[in-house]
Each structure stands twice: as C-alpha cells, then as structure tokens.
C-alpha cells in the first residue's frame, strides 16, 4: 500500500514540477548574490545568507532558510491537501476503497507518501543549494564557523547540515498532517490545501503578536527556525527537541482526527 502511494507520488509529473519550482528561488537568490555581492544586513534576510559569501558550503542551509517560511509549506500543503481529496475528486478513491485498501492503511500510506515528498524535496533543495553554492562562491574545504564563533570541521559541518535537513523535514510534518486532515473533510484538494495554508498564516501571524504569547509555544510554526540552533556551539537542543515534540503532537492529534473522520465517512465522490 505504501509502495503504491509512493509510486503514485513520484510518477506524477506535478510532484517534480513542484520540486523544480521550489529550487528556482534559492538559485535565483544565489545568482543575484553572486552578481551584486550585496549580503543582507545583520538581522535581516534569511539565516546563513550573509555567511554564504565567505563560505559557499553554507548555501544548502541558506537555501532551506529561503524556502522554509513560505515556499516549502505551500508545496507541502498542496501535496498533502491533494492526498485524499485529490483521489476523491478524480473518482479513484472509490475504487481504492472497494479494492479494498483499508481506510486506516490508506491514510497512513498517504502520510508516508507526503513525508517522502517532504524529505525528497528538502534533500533536493539542499543538494541543489550545495551545487549552486560551491559553483558560485568560494567553498572552504576545511569546514566552517559555527554561529557561536567556534570552528567546525568538515565532518561536523556535514553532520549538522544533515541534522538540519532532517529537522526541516520534520517541521513540515505538522503542515502535512493539517493538509491530510482537511483532505479527508472535503472532496476539493484546493480547499484542503487552502485550509492548511490558512492555519500556517494564522500561526505565523500569532507568533509575531505579543498578545498571543500565551499560545506561542504551541503554534505549529513556533520552532521552525530552530534548525539554526544546530549550528550553535554547543548545540542548543532545547528548541529542537521542543520542535520535534510539538510536530509529533500535531501529527498524532491530526492523524487521529483524520482517522476518526475518514474511517466513518460516506464516500460519495
């Protein structure tokens, strides 16, 4: 079942178009940065972007930071919103369920497929970022500097970059769970994706609002930028751990909600 969903996901031209579009922005930023040599001022712009001018090997992180606030969640919302609602709209859902693909199994397989999409997307963005960064900027072969000003060896830098890629992927799980839940509520993939995006926009907005500070620790986007903490020395695990736990809770709750709804739903599409 999971294999079927993965196959559907990655044999679909739209999946690869989305990933390609997602990579266009960091590459564009890299080219502009190379041509103008104008780094963002401290405190502005995405994390790691100003450091790229001195070490191109950091561009995978800058690329992730560029797509993280908007592009990546939009892509995940669209793909996850399409998961069940897309099948419903195309009419293939009734054949899947009459086959029978168990409803719970289908839900889990869909989540795994969306997760695979997230991982592949993040890895591709990082890989394209690495190629772009090393082609356009000077890469320091001896490693790099941590955010705290200590030196990192090449291995440490590579290890932490992998951790950051993993963390960014996990950060997208909450969005995916929202998309999947909304996807079981409606037969319109667009409505499901917009629903997930509405949650994200609300979360990002509340995060900036002092009046909402009591709920801030529970917002799905709260710990997204914590991947920067992996490049402090010593690593600051606090927000990373909280971010992982929070995403876990969102996935658990929303998957339960999706299950409660989908397994008792009349499929009339």
Site for another protein, rule CB under 8 A: 1, 3-4, 7-8, 11-13, 42-43, 45-48, 50-51, 54, 65, 90-92, 94-102, 140, 145, 147-151, 217, 225, 228-229, 232, 234, 236, 238, 249, 252-253, 256-257, 259-260, 263-264, 266-268
Radius of gyration of the chain (CA): 20
What gap in Å lies between CA 83 and CA 7, rounded to an integer?
A: 13
Cβ nearer to another protein, comparing 124 with 147? 147
Give me the least distance between CB of 119 and another protein, in Å please. Answer: 22
Please report which residue ranges of the chain form alpha helices under DSSP H: 2-10, 13-36, 49-52, 59-67, 71-90, 92-98, 103-136, 154-185, 189-208, 237-262
Give me the least distance between CB of 200 and another protein, in Å please. Answer: 17
Give me the least distance between CB of 268 and another protein, in Å please. Answer: 6
What gap in Å lies between CA 144 and CA 133, rounded to an integer?
A: 14
Cβ nearer to another protein, comparing 36 with 268? 268
Give me the least distance between CB of 99 and another protein, in Å please. Answer: 4
Q: 201: how many CB neighbours lie within 10 A of its CB? A: 13
Q: Could you tell me which residues come within 8 angstroms of residue 209 by beta carbon, excluding any fewer than 6 positions away? A: none
Tokens of 212: 């909402």
Cβ nearer to another protein, comparing 119 with 259? 259
Give me the least distance between CB of 257 and another protein, in Å please. Answer: 5
Q: 24: how many CB neighbours lie within 10 A of its CB? A: 12
Tokens of 231: 């490049």
Cβ nearer to another protein, comparing 34 with 232? 232
Cβ nearer to another protein, comparing 7 with 31? 7
Cβ nearer to another protein, comparing 22 with 103? 103
Choose among 94, 87, 76: nearest CA to 188: 87
Give me the least distance between CB of 266 and another protein, in Å please. Answer: 4
């Amino acid at each position: 079942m999971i294999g079927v969903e993965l196959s559907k996901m990655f044999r679909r031209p739209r999946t690869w178009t989305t990933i390609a579009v997602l990579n266009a922005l960091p590459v564009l930023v890299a080219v502009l940065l190379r041509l103008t040599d104008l780094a963002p001022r401290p405190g502005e712009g995405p994390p790691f972007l100003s450091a790229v001018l001195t070490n191109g090997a950091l561009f995978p992180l800058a690329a992730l930071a560029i797509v993280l606030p908007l592009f990546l969640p939009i892509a995940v919302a669209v793909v996850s919103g399409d998961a069940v609602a897309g099948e419903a709209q195309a009419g293939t859902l009734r054949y899947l369920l009459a086959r029978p693909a168990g409803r719970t199994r289908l839900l889990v397989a869909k989540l795994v497929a969306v997760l695979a999409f997230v991982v592949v997307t993040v890895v591709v963005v990082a890989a394209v970022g690495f190629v772009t960064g090393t082609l356009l900027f000077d890469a320091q072969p001896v490693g790099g500097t941590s955010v705290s000003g200590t030196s990192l060896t090449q291995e440490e830098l590579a290890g932490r970059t992998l951790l950051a890629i993993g963390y960014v992927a996990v950060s997208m799980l909450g969005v995916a769970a929202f998309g999947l839940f909304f996807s079981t509520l409606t037969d319109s993939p667009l409505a499901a994706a917009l629903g997930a995006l509405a949650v994200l926009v609300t979360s990002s907005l509340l995060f900036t609002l002092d009046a909402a500070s009591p709920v801030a620790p529970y917002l799905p986007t709260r710990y997204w930028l914590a991947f920067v903490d992996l490049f402090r020395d010593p690593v600051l695990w606090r927000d990373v751990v909280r971010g992982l736990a929070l995403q876990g809770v969102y996935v658990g709750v929303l998957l339960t909600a999706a299950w409660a709804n989908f397994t008792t739903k009349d499929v009339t599409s």
